[in-house]
Amino acid sequence: MTILTRRSFGALIGASAATLAAPSLLRANTTGRLVIIGGGFGGASAARFARITYPEVEVTLIEPYPTFITCPYGNLILGGKRELPQITHSYDGLRARGVTVLQDRAADIDPVAKSVRLASGADVGYDKLIVSPGIGLRWGAIEGYDEAAAQIFPHAWMGGDGSQITLLRQQLEALPEGGVVGLAIPGNPFRCPPGPYERISMIAHYLKQANPTAKILAFDAKEGFSKQGLFQDTWAELYGDMIEWVPGNQDGKIVRVDVENKLFISEFGEEHRVDVGNVIAPQFAAAIARDTGLADESGWVPVNSRTFEANAAADIHVIGDANIAAPLPKSGYIANSTSKTAVAAALAEMTGQPAPSDPVYFNTCYSHGGADYGFSVVGVFRPTDEGFAETPDSGGISPRGPLSELAENRRLEASYADAWYDSITRDMFS
């Protein structure tokens, strides 16, 4: 369809009052159609922001699940600090704002005809498309780790229907006394850089009470990780010798799993028997971003750093974990923060409003280390001619030091984390 600016739309109304029944004016209240694939931190934030900021634009959200279960705070289920309903969010708030929510899976995109093919077979036309589908797991990248194996060694790294995080929680509850919990952690990039280490902390928090002689063996493909000093301080302070972290340069990279015998097998052939295995498998952009050619050979989608328009296709803006925007982390907060820039850039032309000229992208990642024990890292980023860069002398990280001196700080940050969760989920769904 022809994209009408607000000004020309107004002029058209005046000029063609006699032809109101003409087909081109049947959609008289809308300036254009924004379609969003994926109702998570990127997509839900984009939908809500678009409805509030550009009420004349028609917004359709395509999301296969009836509700959204957040990955942030999923680790608190493992720690026994939250229940699944507390991190499950309804799309009713978006519906009430006028978003058309289609519970369906986007199967294909036609960038020429500008329409999305749904798994149910219907086509949804768009003027601008936001693609925020999240990640897919690289099944088979760890030999023996496929969808069937994930029923024994859960990944619990995508919200989905909640069954994965529930399974992992149940397995922890059933862990034999003094049993071993193994985690396999991937190399960069992956969703939620501090997530695996918060997970280790929350599992330890649970086991310290329920099964204090249990062990956690965390095998990592990397030699370092986000907030490493803070996490390792936490582990030493709160959990003694319960946790062992094995980095990639000490043969921590897991290359094969044997679910029948409950084995993790390392790069150099060492076999580790675990009672519970959590395999955070290597990742890439979700299928819709790869199957349509939006992603490059890395498996992620390169984008314009000011507009998030995909390098591979006009009028398609890719946000959230599916894109490559390093040094922006693959976090819910970044998906939320960048969604607004992407929507404003996408809709600038059709609404006649300026695109953001100097966008700034914010990130804060809180992590829970234990009860009333939180810390955070903050980053501020801007586009550059080459991509993205962290703004010099911005951001920061929680202080390190003995718990005796920092208990109040840690307690406050845990409450800030809870407040962050409440506010960002309201910015997505209310």
Partner 1 sequence: MSTPRVRLPRSASAGEEIEIRTLIDHPMVTGLSSDNPRDMLARFDARMNGQTVLSYDFGNGSAANPTFTFYLRAAAPGDFEFIWTHEDGTEFRAEGSVSVS
User: DSSP letters along 233-286, please?
Assistant: HHHHHHHTTSEEEE-GGGT--EEEEETTTTEEEETT--EEE-SEEEE---EEE-
CB 256 within 8 A of CB 153: no
Count of residues near partner 1 by CB under 8 A:
7
CB 364 within 8 A of CB 421: no
Among 267, 275, 372, 390, binds partner 1 (CB under 8 A): 267
CB 375 within 8 A of CB 227: yes
Give just the sign of the alpha carbon dihedral 406, 409, 413, 419: positive
User: What is the spatial distance between Cα 217 and Cα 185, in angstroms, rounded to a whole number?
Assistant: 11
Among 269, 354, 392, 402, binds partner 1 (CB under 8 A): 269
User: What is the spatial distance between Cα 265 and Cα 267, in angstroms, rounded to a whole number?
Assistant: 7
Indicate whether 250 belongs to the interface with partner 1 (CB under 8 A).
Answer: yes
Indicate whether 265 belongs to the interface with partner 1 (CB under 8 A).
Answer: no
Least separation in angstroms between residue 222's CB and partner 1 is: 13
Closest to partner 1 by CB, 258 vs 267, is 267
Least separation in angstroms between residue 159's CB and partner 1 is: 36
Closest to partner 1 by CB, 260 vs 268, is 268
Binding mask 193-232 for partner 1 (x = CB under 8 A): ----------------------------------------
User: What is the spatial distance between Cα 233 and Cα 235, in angstroms, rounded to a whole number?
Assistant: 6
What lies within 8 Å, CB to CB, of 321 at 6+ separation is 42, 134, 135, 191, 283, 285, 330, 335
Whether the link from the prior residue into 196 is cis, omega within 30° of 0, is no
Name residue, tokens 């984008």.
303
Indicate whether 251 belongs to the interface with partner 1 (CB under 8 A).
Answer: yes
User: What is the spatial distance between Cα 107 and Cα 120, in angstroms, rounded to a whole number?
Assistant: 9
Least separation in angstroms between residue 250's CB and partner 1 is: 6
Indicate whether 86 belongs to the interface with partner 1 (CB under 8 A).
Answer: no
Near partner 1 by CB under 8 A, which window of 149-157, 181-189, 247-255, 403-411? 247-255
Closest to partner 1 by CB, 187 vs 396, is 187
Closest to partner 1 by CB, 185 vs 246, is 246
CB 395 within 8 A of CB 329: no
Indicate whether 146 belongs to the interface with partner 1 (CB under 8 A).
Answer: no
Residue 258, token pair as written in the block: 């044997």
Among 90, 249, 415, 430, binds partner 1 (CB under 8 A): 249
Near partner 1 by CB under 8 A, which window of 4-12, 138-146, 262-270, 311-319? 262-270
Near partner 1 by CB under 8 A, which window of 45-53, 86-94, 264-272, 406-414? 264-272
Least separation in angstroms between residue 388's CB and partner 1 is: 28
Near partner 1 by CB under 8 A, which window of 212-220, 243-251, 324-332, 409-417? 243-251
Near partner 1 by CB under 8 A, which window of 249-257, 334-342, 354-362, 387-395? 249-257
User: What is the spatial distance between Cα 385 and Cα 372, in angstroms, rounded to a whole number?
Assistant: 42
Least separation in angstroms between residue 270's CB and partner 1 is: 8
CB 274 within 8 A of CB 172: no
Q: Where are the beta strands (DSSP E) in 286-418?
A: 301-302, 316-318, 323-324, 361-370, 373-383, 388-390, 396-397
Closest to partner 1 by CB, 169 vs 222, is 222
Indicate whether 268 belongs to the interface with partner 1 (CB under 8 A).
Answer: yes
Closest to partner 1 by CB, 85 vs 224, is 224
- Please give the residue ranges that form the binding site for partner 1 (CB under 8 A): 249-251, 267-270
